[in-house]
Amino acid sequence: MDHVQHWIDGALSTKESHRVGEIFNPATGVVTGNVAFADEAQVDEAVKVAARAFDEWRHSSLTKRVQVLFAFRELVNTNKEKIAALITSEHGKVLSDAAGEVTRGLEVVEFACGIPHLLKGGFSEEVSTGVDVYSIRQPLGPVAIISPFNFPAMVPMWFFPVAIAAGNTVIVKPSEKDPSAIMFIAKLWKEAGLPDGVFNVVHGDKVAVDALLTHPGIKSISFVGSTPIAKYVYETGTKSGKRVQALGGAKNHMVVLPDADLDLAADAAINAGFGSAGERCMAISALVAVGPIADTLIEKITARMANLKTGDGTKGADMGPLVTKIHRDKVAGYIAAGEAQGATVVVDGRNVEVAGDGFWLGPTLFDNVTSEMSLYQDEIFGPVLSVLRVNTYDEALALVNEHPYGNGTAIFTNDGGAARRFQNEVEVGMVGINVPIPVPMAYYSFGGWKNSLFGDSHAHGTEGVHFFTRGKVVTSRWLDPSHGGINLGFPQNS
């Protein structure tokens, strides 16, 4: 049985932890290992290590930082399949999804390799006689990243490449449900030549999280998770004087207009609704059918669902298990509640038959869902797709804008004018046009509006660089040599 320890100062911690958590293989339901839970003293040790390392790393040249980043990028790319296998073994998503997660994380590494350009400041000469003004950006210090279970590699990689490239040191607190991928990544950082103490990992639960949120040595917090926890992280971290970006939950809509290509829309609904078992903050969970197309669209989605294979992510399945039995049962409870509240169960994932004792729940499709149902109000975070029927574009827009979440949305249409109007009027942070999961490339920033984001900064992109640096403006005057008293070292003829 594997025991996952903390990674502090470039090595596995040798200190015994008094508390541990179990690690499951979701496809078998079997405990495969345990993970150490940090107490306040172990978090304090990691912060002190990161603070010492910061004194050296912040003064390392941009050339050296980029060389380390390029080496790390090559190592991650070379070991992509190994990282994906670790993710699948502890999260349950199919191997292709896990490999795709690593690829998307690498995009941020590649973006961060451009840090010399991204940190360039401005310069204004002669703002007054003999006076120049220029701006620079400097790193914060030790920063903390608290990441969720659903993307154990990609979500931390939204943050730490930019943070490290900018000269900060990092402590990652991964989900205790799937901690092994980030441990493998920590070893790759060391192999890439990153100095010890720049990248650290502490495992644990609320004790470790609270210790990071309140520790005076931590300068910023980056978090991704549910909205209630995101709000807690933001309030606790800012109260402790930290810069905080806390990305919360989502209820992502896919609006399908009557003129849309319904085959394209059905394919998109399958991929965005059931990929990674719906355990994505960008998953489509509410499909809004406008006008007379709902019956035809549901028929097309149902036909495609019949071909989906639920099973072990290492054995050719299209969709794997949910991450834990508790979460599986919670999602099944939403299905029962939707049925009791009057929604029509078109495909019931509770009836899926899969060999083994994994945390199985098949893809589920509801029709005739209304806005007051818990199916629609809550973030289910599972393979449940709800169809809502409306008569007009304005009704569809109102549904999206009135929902408390504002993470991502999509519209399917062949009308450019309708699409342009939607992208302008919708109150959501990320919009897809005939694209169901509009996750931006790394050189743009990721994040939502409303209860999907607490704080002012989105992840990666220019906003990420600004989050992990502080601006400083310098006003300088240097006396001209003609004023006397300055020896430029030239030969003098006396």
Is there a contact between 290 and 255 (Cβ–Cβ < 8 Å)? yes
Give helix 206-214 / helix 227-239 axis angle, nearest 10°: 40
Q: Name the 3-class secondary structure at 146.
A: strand
Is there a contact between 461 and 440 (Cβ–Cβ < 8 Å)? yes
Identify the burial level of 360 via C-beta atoms within 10 angstroms of its C-beta, where 0-12 means exposed, 13-18 middle and 19 or more buried.
buried
Is there a contact between 327 and 278 (Cβ–Cβ < 8 Å)? no
By C-alpha distance, which of 375, 407, 416 is closest to 257? 416
CA distances from 148 to 202, 292, 396, 402, 426 (A): 14, 39, 31, 27, 27
Q: Cα 115 to the chain's mean position, in Å?
A: 20
CA distances from 41 to 15, 37, 193, 480 (A): 11, 11, 28, 55
Q: What does DSSP say about strands 405-406 and 449-450: parallel, antiparallel, or unpaired?
A: antiparallel
Report angle CA 149, 153, 156 to the nearest 5 degrees: 85
> What is the spatial distance between Cα 97 and Cα 78, in angstroms, rounded to a whole number?
17
Is there a contact between 234 and 213 (Cβ–Cβ < 8 Å)? no
Supply the DSSP string of 266-316, one letter for each residue: HHHHHHHHHGGGG--TT-EEEEEEEGGGHHHHHHHHHHHHTT--BS-TTTT
* Catalytic hit among 165, 172, 277, 281: 281
Q: What does DSSP say about strands 243-247 and 453-454: parallel, antiparallel, or unpaired?
A: antiparallel
Long-range CB contact pairs, 437-440, < 8 A, 24+: 437/271, 437/272, 437/280, 437/282, 437/283, 437/284, 437/408, 437/410, 438/282, 438/408, 438/409, 438/410, 439/104, 439/282, 439/408
Q: Check residue 335 and report its DSSP letter.
A: H
Active site residue 281: yes
Active-site annotation, residues: 281
